Amino acid sequence: MARGVGSGFGLSDLPRISYGRGSYLYDQAGKAYLDGSGGPAVFCLGHAHPEVNSAISAQLDSIAYAYRYLFTSSALESLTEVVLRLSGGCFKDVLYSADGSEAVESALKVALQYFAARGLMKKRRFIARHRSWHGNTLGALSVSGFAARRRAFEGSLLDVIFVSAANAYRPPRDCEPGALVARLAAELEESILDAGPETIAAFIYEPIVGAAGGVVPAPPGYAAAVAQVCRKYDVLVIADEVMCGVGRSGTWRALEHDGVAPDVMSVAKGLAGGYIPLGATLVAPQVADPILSEHGAYMTGHTFSGHTAACAAGLAVQRIIERDRLLERVRRVGASFQDSVQRSLARFDEVGDVRGRGFFIGVELVCDPKTRTPFPADRGLSFDIGQRAFADGLICYPCSGNVDGITGDTIILAPPYNASDAELEEITVKLTRAVSGALASG
């Protein structure tokens, strides 16, 4: 990605990759890079895991890909069974795609098809949140509150209603901390009523905001409060767990932590762990049944939906995570990892917030910790930190614009679930060194 979109490097600046082993990547010059962010929170088992590679190779030896609408496969059927079980029995169907953007696009289409199946054709609009990111397709981009990524496409996006971000570190003005959840739920309800409940199809949000906010978990009680509002007005809840789900936050579903089940959910990154592109849209029975009864099938899908080798990769990844109890490790070690990062960065007044859950941690840097004023956008602080870390052999994920779409600097850490204690310590040390160098440079 080009600078300003997520990485801080132009394509001409990129080193040439050679190979990966475990938590490390190696370029053709032989330099090692510790993958402290799993790329963009993708690599949950690290690189070149022999069992995953073996499963992919075995699938390729038999058949790489059979068109989903002509054939099913043992890989697809087994993965579907595993996903439905690991997601807690909340869903009836799994619709496969190639990435998170496609998974979100399918989620939006499922919501529209659901109301069409019920004859409620006025329910066509979506509500989303400011400081959110849902993907690069036009539909997913339309429900994303990420100004820098939307700007070039304004005028061709869906008409979406946006409500406030659920960010305890940056609450709405004049909102007392204890009143935040009630304030946000009331704002959602007012937005539904203003537009007319008969026009709203779904509310979509990330349970833990990723790139657009720098890892922002919603405050306790938020998920239940907004779900209650949506149920009141026959509005579907779409949970976008592309980045925060599939165990990244310590539970297979991020919303499992909140005791809430959505109507539709998108997942991707950790599903096949980056070995082959794979995403999925999970549909709850109450949404699936009217669609299948009226239309007979879901009206979404792509050429490579349910790609056979991708499903084999996803199945291998999920079986290893479950067998090795890696989600238990993420829960157990995640809190101490976050504490270690926070302690190491505590000497910098400019580190305003360290937050997250499991192996999904965000660091926000501010010019003034008392007022939480962000650094000027042209300072490019997060990308400065990212480049210094990269030069030192650490991959982290710098993001900008989390405050107002222009200003705001955050760093995301999202290591593999099987990263060793020593590797987690190396991440902390090298990130601290990068932060120190960037702040000292002015």
Quick check: 361 and 427 in contact, CB under 8 A?
Answer: no
Over residues 285-302, the pLDDT tens digits come to 999 999 999 999 999 999
Cβ-in-10-Å burial (0-12, 13-18, 19+) of 15 comes to middle
At residue 4, does pLDDT exceed 70?
Answer: no
Q: What tokens does 373 get? A: 């004023």
Q: Work out the average pLDDT over 161-174.
A: 94
Q: Which residues make Cβ contacts (< 8 Å) with residue 296, sequence separation at least 6? A: none
Per-domain boundaries in the chain? 11-48+325-440, 52-323
Cβ neighbours around 410 below 10 Å, total: 28
* Percent of the chain residues past pLDDT 70, beyond the cut: 97
E strand spans, 366-441: 394-395, 397-400, 409-413
Measured CA to CA, the distance from residue 239 to residue 142 in angstroms comes to: 16
E strand spans, 71-185: 93-97, 125-129, 161-163
Among all chains, which residue has been given the structure tokens 């991440």?
427
Quickly state the pLDDT bin for 151 (edges 50, 70, 90): very high
Which of 232, 264, 247 minimizes the C-alpha distance to 91?
264
**pLDDT value, residue 176:** 86
At residue 279, does pLDDT exceed 70?
Answer: yes
CATH code of the domain occupying 11-48+325-440? 3.90.1150.10
What's this model's pTM, rounded to 2 decimal places? 0.96
At residue 12, does pLDDT exceed 70?
Answer: no
Please name the residue ranges forming H helices in 164-272. Answer: 180-195, 222-232
For residue 141, give the amino acid letter: L
CATH code of the domain occupying 52-323? 3.40.640.10
Pick left, alpha or beta for residue 204 (phi over 0 → left; psi -120 to 50 → alpha; otherwise beta): beta
Over residues 219-271, the pLDDT tens digits come to 999 999 999 999 999 999 999 999 999 999 999 999 999 999 999 999 999 99
| Pairing mode, strands 125-129 and 200-205 | parallel
Which of 133, 85, 95, 413 minimizes the C-alpha distance to 253?
85
Angle (CA) 32 35 39, round 5°: 125
